[in-house]
Structure 1
Amino acid sequence: MPYLANENRYEKMTYNYCGKSGLKLPAISIGLWHNFGGVDTLSNARKILRKAFDLGITHFDLANNYGPPAGSAEETMGILLKKDFKPYRDQLIISSKAGYYMWPGPYGEWGSRKYLISSLNQSLKRMGLEYVDIFYHHRPDPNTPLEETIGALKDIVRQGKALYVGISNYNAKQSKKAAEIADKMGIKLLLNQYNYSLFDRWSEEDELLTTLKQLGMGSIIYSPLAQGLLTDKYLKKIPDDSRAAKATGYLKKDSITDEKIAKASQLNEIAADRGQSLSQMALAWILDQDVSSVLVGASKVEQIIENAAALNKVSFTNEELAAIEAILAE
């Protein structure tokens, strides 16, 4: 049976503008960092993305090195675009990135013009696309002149290979410099994609969100659930199918400390009083700060359903915010 998207998919999702642009992103976006690679099950990936789109999640976020193996998440996306989402291409925001290691030799990572344009060409081929909606430089390059990196992004837009461009993992000072160079070149940086969560507050100390607002850029957040620590998954023990249980996972067992489990348990009590799961409250807490979107991962359809339901209650009382901060300050 051909896939027919839910006719009511746009009714419950919230869509936010990205900075001073005309582009809206769903408040909840889905990232294909994990669970969509060549080592994963295509049928499960298909179910997750179908359900995401049925819930109004129009933004699918990738990078050249997502997998494993590197590149295979984009290949999965290409298969599913052909099988399911081709009729809906103009209703989707598909993004990719380049910056981390992708192939051997001096041209396979960082921020040179050679690498960025070559990598995007490869990404487009893997996904069977003529363009991506958003293309990011994935991390700052300490050696390549920023003018070269931004110039490559400008030419990528000019060539029609991306509709918008952005940056990822840039701090406030780096974002400001990149935006200034882009303005001089006559191009706008749409977004900065960076990590932020109740457990990871570096961007607050850096005043990154405030800086991006001043620059007219949007914020899109990855790892809003601290790689799963802000879910009920680790409140009792490390599940066998969790990221922490996998030797190759990004979340290591030694990251799941007694202190974090204790804090997560207390936060879970506040979430329960709000009528939410811990993960829903963690997402709502970020969305309440006027970001463009939060990126969630999923290994099961049920996780997408639960995360999307975070939008049912995004606002917080002063008492709830104070209670949350008291727990995190302990």
Structure 2
Amino acid sequence: MTTSSSISLRNLGASDLKVSPLGLGTWQFSKGKRLAGIKFWPDLEKQLIQEIVKVSLRGGINWFDTAEIYGKGASEAVLADALNELGDEAKEALICTKWWPAFRRAKSINQTIDQRLEALKGRKIDLYLVHQPFSFSSANEEMNQMAQLLQEGKINHVGVSNFSEKKLREAHGALKEQGFPLVANQMKFSLLDRRIERNGVLDAAKQLGVTIIAYSPLEQGILTGKFHKNRELIKNIVGPRKYLSGFKESSLTRTQPLIDLLERLAKEYDISTSQIALNWTIHFHGETIVAIPGATKKHHAEENIGALTFRLSDKHLAEIDKVSKEVSLK
């Protein structure tokens, strides 16, 4: 195991923006507001949110992922409050947020940008993503709007989220024509969901110089191993997550060999199971993939930053890869 007193930052895509291999996902900062009528997260207290942000920042995480749709701006505002509360300590903290495309056209990107900036209370948008590939406009039209925001200095970098290989290439090409790089594609990726390795998205990202931002890297907590040890914990999950296929008895049985391996390596490295899973995620494909685990408790944030303090050996990266492919759910 290798350790370092400082976190090695990576360039985000073909940009000069330097990010830590892990960011903090902040959907859970939505203050209990619902998405599409469904409550996904409990209402976290302001003091807890501030503690999570502070622990993350002090542990080496330098960027935070939020979105318009997360509580209709509530997550953005709460995150901004927490960072502003830290003063100079958070002066260089980076923010990624996202435009929600459903039932909208590309011109909404420019029409709503001031709302995003207002929600972020004076903080910059370092990375602005198209959240989903299903607006009423083409990727080309969306990137033209994004290019205008770049030219106006309202955002600093552009990415997309949940874009297929075809859509990713289209968006990358359109923004390139405007003289700007597309730097990121945020996709679901974990040891139990490796679809981007098979559907062309990861290969395209490597070819184009686009960073993959992996969301749900711990598969809603399944990769911590706690639900394999105690099935009763599933009943206590807030919201519809408990009904995901990964929590079914058959899925937990199928994925047990991977959890056993992660737990064995956790003992060998003297860290936690989740830290092994996160470390694999941010190292197996070189520097192409970064990840945004969330945190609803202080110790979750501490677990996240612990994954940045070591690197799995090539032998263990390969061993995890092999077992993961044998039991992966997607």
Fold agreement, TM-score > 0.5 = yes
For the 8 Å contact 2:162–2:185, the answer to whether it is kept is: yes
- Which one-letter code corresponds to 1:194 in the other structure? M
Q: How does 1:133-172 map to 2 (within 5 A)?
A: 133-141=126-134, 143-172=136-165
For the 8 Å contact 2:106–2:135, the answer to whether it is kept is: no
Secondary structure of residue in 2 paired with 1:192: strand
Out of 218, 227, 231, the position equivalent to 1:237 is: 231
**2-structure distance, mates of 1:292, 1:201:** 12
- Aligned partner of 1:226 in structure 2 is 219
- Aligned partner of 2:299 in structure 1 is 302
- Aligned partner of 1:45 in structure 2 is 49
TM-score, L = length of structure 1: 0.85
TM-score, L = length of structure 2: 0.85
Q: How does 1:94-133 map to 2 (within 5 A)?
A: 94-100=95-101, 109-113=103-107, 115-129=108-122, 131-133=124-126
- Aligned partner of 1:174 in structure 2 is 167
Q: Does 1:279 align with 2:277?
A: no
Out of 82, 85, 92, the position equivalent to 2:84 is: 82
Q: Does 1:63 align with 2:67?
A: yes
Q: Does 1:323 align with 2:323?
A: yes
Out of 285, 299, 303, the position equivalent to 1:289 is: 285
Aligned pairs, how many?
307
**1-structure distance, mates of 2:59, 2:303:** 11
Aligned CA distance change for structure 1 residues 58 and 111 (closer, same or farther; 3 Å): farther
For the 8 Å contact 1:283–1:310, the answer to whether it is kept is: yes
- Give the deviation of 1:219 after TM superposition: 1.3
Aligned CA distance change for structure 1 residues 237 and 132 (closer, same or farther; 3 Å): same
For the 8 Å contact 1:195–1:223, the answer to whether it is kept is: yes
Secondary structure of residue in 1 paired with 2:292: strand
**2-structure distance, mates of 1:95, 1:272:** 32
Secondary structure of residue in 1 paired with 2:233: coil
- Aligned partner of 1:269 in structure 2 is 260
**1:130-187 C-alpha deviation (Å, 9 max, x unpaired):** 5311111111136313222111100111111111111111011110111111111222
- Which one-letter code corresponds to 2:311 in the other structure? K
Aligned CA distance change for structure 1 residues 320 and 215 (closer, same or farther; 3 Å): closer
Secondary structure of residue in 1 paired with 2:19: strand
For the 8 Å contact 1:168–1:192, the answer to whether it is kept is: yes
- Aligned partner of 2:249 in structure 1 is 258
**1:237-272 C-alpha deviation (Å, 9 max, x unpaired):** 243785xx32x3445265511232124432222112
Secondary structure of residue in 1 paired with 2:231: coil
**1:193-243 C-alpha deviation (Å, 9 max, x unpaired):** 11111221221111211211211211111111111121223112243785x
| Structure ranking higher on relative contact order (CA contacts 8 Å, 6+ apart) | 2
**2-structure distance, mates of 1:17, 1:83:** 27
**2-structure distance, mates of 1:45, 1:270:** 33
Secondary structure of residue in 2 paired with 1:193: strand
- Which one-letter code corresponds to 2:96 in the other structure? S
**1:41-84 C-alpha deviation (Å, 9 max, x unpaired):** 111101100000010101011101113xx221112123223322
- Which one-letter code corresponds to 1:274 in the other structure? L
Aligned CA distance change for structure 1 residues 319 and 43 (closer, same or farther; 3 Å): closer
**1-structure distance, mates of 2:246, 2:221:** 11
Aligned CA distance change for structure 1 residues 40 and 19 (closer, same or farther; 3 Å): same
**1-structure distance, mates of 2:105, 2:89:** 32
**2-structure distance, mates of 1:238, 1:178:** 44
- Aligned partner of 2:39 in structure 1 is none
Secondary structure of residue in 1 paired with 2:116: helix
Secondary structure of residue in 2 paired with 1:22: coil
**2-structure distance, mates of 1:258, 1:129:** 47
**1:300-321 C-alpha deviation (Å, 9 max, x unpaired):** 1111211222232334414443
For the 8 Å contact 2:101–2:135, the answer to whether it is kept is: no
**2-structure distance, mates of 1:54, 1:31:** 16
- Give the deviation of 1:279 after TM superposition: 1.7
**2-structure distance, mates of 1:300, 1:327:** 29
Query: Which blocks of at least 5 consecutive residues in structure 2 are unaligned?
Result: 33-42
Q: Does 1:92 align with 2:103?
A: no
- Aligned partner of 2:312 in structure 1 is 314
